[in-house]
Amino acid sequence: MAIESPSAIDAPRVNGHAKTRTGAAGLDASRLKVSVTQSPKLIPSPETLKFGQTMTDHMLIASYDPEHGWSDPEIKPYGPLCLDPASSCFQYSTNIFEGMKAYVGPNGEVRLFRPDLNMARMRRSADRVALPPFDTDALLTLIQRLVALESRWIPNIQGYSLYLRPTVIGTRPSLGVTASDNALLYVICSPAGPYFKAGSAHQISLLANGEVVRSWPGGTGGYKLALNYAPTLKPQQLAELQGYNQVLWLLDDKITEAGAMNFFVVIKQDENNWNVITPPLDGTILPGVTRDSCISLSAAHPSRTILPHLPETLHLHTHERTLTMSDLRTWHEEGRLLEAFTVGTAVVVTGVGRIGFEGKDIVLPDHASGRGPIARALYERIVAIQEGKAEWEGWSVVCKSV
């Protein structure tokens, strides 16, 4: 799988698990302590939800210190953290996180979507900023326990889910530019509906920006680090002031990502052969779980599966290759640029209506649903798999009943 591309700086492994410091205790799911809230919150109606603004009753937490290793993990009522002001997370941004979702299946069972990929990426991200390692299998078991406890918060409506935010922050309580040998791991949950506001939920606009660089060769764009996001916020504000939803990030003329999402285009060869293209994982691109899923499903049509609403006679050819704005303009002038779309955990798959570049718009073909035929097909199939209504290569994982 593309997301599992090897890294020269992966953490040491023993039987598939990351080693802790010598003599320190590893993260142990069997030692979980659970403290259930005595004041459960009222669950708001799904229609009122705004992404990431409503938190559930409980959170998972564990701490690490170099002498004892990982503490016994605990699920407890959601609340503030108490941190030393000199903690490295504040001073040097030693922070990583993941984005995952839990869904209600057709029989009421709780499901996660390809969580093994999130855990693998989280391990790589932690190692990239020299945070203490942890057993990702143990963390996944703990996440399942938390999700099982919070299952009443999962909206049972198509397109809705429970968003999960596993996070590790460095808590070394002293100044000095050095690796944090103290850490705090926590997981919080938030019921979520469509990421973009009504009217742009299925289609967005992008402003191509080559003046401010989001990531660069040898940098950290291929890791899910908090430090990658803050520098993008001001360009995002400026794009919104010009009437665009998100920034299309460039490195010279080369396209990298769109906002915090992976970017795809569909190019026509002929009536029965279309190319589905996304930039390669060259270190500047985050290896997204949804990205990998779109590549796999596109490559499977029509030989291994028929995607929704697409004819069997249509052959999709997937490519991970360099994309440039010059390419997009040429394909658009030739009438071969059929659609563009963005993908990510929060948005799943969203169509792109126009791309602003050097004072002009590249306007994509109009589609009644907002998503082009490939984006629509991928969105519907991925959501069906996430919700357990379709099976595909074990991607939808039923949470353990514990």
Task: Sketch out the chain's domains with CATH numbers.
Answer: 2-192 (3.30.470.10), 203-386 (3.20.10.10)
Given a contact cutoff of 8 angstroms between Cβ atoms, the answer to whether 170 and 92 are in contact is yes
Give CA–CA dist 339/186, Å, rounded.
39
Give CA–CA dist 166/155, Å, rounded.
20
Q: Look up the pTM and report it.
A: 0.92
CA dihedral 111, 53, 202, 120 (to 10 degrees): -40
Give CA–CA dist 295/290, Å, rounded.
9
Closest residue by Cα to residue 224 from 289, 141, 294:
289
Contacts of 398 (CB under 8 A, 6+ apart): 105, 109, 110, 111, 388
DSSP bridge pairs for 225 = 96
Give CA–CA dist 64/72, Å, rounded.
10
pLDDT for residue 7: 41
Given a contact cutoff of 8 angstroms between Cβ atoms, the answer to whether 362 and 329 are in contact is yes
Give CA–CA dist 148/268, Å, rounded.
45
pLDDT for residue 201: 56
pLDDT for residue 15: 37
Closest residue by Cα to residue 320 from 363, 277, 266, 284:
277
Token digits of residue 204: 């967005």
pLDDT for residue 193: 84
Positive or negative CA dihedral for 368, 369, 371, 375?
Answer: negative
Classify residue 105 as exposed, middle or buried by CB count within 10 Å of its CB (0-12, 13-18, 19+). middle
Low-confidence ranges of the chain (pLDDT < 70): 1-23, 197-201, 401-402
